[in-house]
Amino acid sequence: MSDQETPQIYLITPPDFELSQFTTQLAAVLDAHEVACLRLALASHDEDRIARAADACREIAHARDVAVVLQSHISLSERLGLDGVHLMDGARSVRKARKALGPDAIVGAYCAQTRHEGMSAGEAGADYVAFGPAGASGLGDGAQAEDELFKWWSEMIEIPVVAEGALDATRIGELAQLTDFFGIGDEIWAEDDPAAALGTLIRAMG
């Protein structure tokens, strides 16, 4: 990634949300800012609930030329007319997803802080890899995807990389030259005005 390029925004939904309220917020965010992709990251395994959320979010996103991927559910992604899938198990399911969804679908893989897992996902056919948490987080074992990982990846690997998790304005400024996308989710949805909160983070890219 060259110094002249500004990272794109990769929007991540909350794990749970009230549909009518969230779709209003989503539309406002997408109208205010340029977003490359939306990930439906629902924690629910209720297919009917996922389908309702996917239908509503897809309609809003596609009307604004924003791609939509579904977290983890490969078969549901295709059935619901989404653009692809985001896998949470590193490289393990990438070949399966690519075979199921075909060459044109978006297949992304979350690889935590593991360079090797990211390379394996890329070799298996992933369109992008995500590393995180990129900021300091109290979740899990406290491990963090460090600057050096993003620096190495951006210099050595052509596959786009997403920095996500526990981001703030300071961290975004530090990583802006080292990543292709910022995965933004919880950082804005808890705010009273998510569109304004995203604007603050975008300005931090410099």
Tell me the CATH number at 121: 3.20.20.70
Q: How far apart are CA 70 and CA 58, in angstroms?
A: 10
Residue 52 lies in a domain: yes
Residue 185 lies in a domain: yes
Please give the model's pTM, rounded to 2 decimal places. 0.96
pLDDT tier at 2, thresholds 50, 70, 90: very low
pLDDT tier at 1, thresholds 50, 70, 90: very low
CA 188 to chain centroid, in Å, comes to 14
pLDDT at residue 5 in the model: 84
Strand partners, 161: 129
**b/e for 11-31, b at 16 or more Cβ within 10 A?**
bbbbeebeeeebbebbbebbe
Span 187-206, pLDDT tens digits: 999 999 999 999 999 999 98
Q: How many structural domains does the chain have?
A: 1
Residue ranges making up the domain that contains 64 = 8-203
Handedness of CA 43, 181, 177, 88 (dihedral sign): positive
Q: How far apart are CA 149 and CA 104, in angstroms?
A: 28
Mean pLDDT value across the chain: 96
Residue 3 lies in a domain: no
pLDDT at residue 4 in the model: 45
Residue 90 lies in a domain: yes
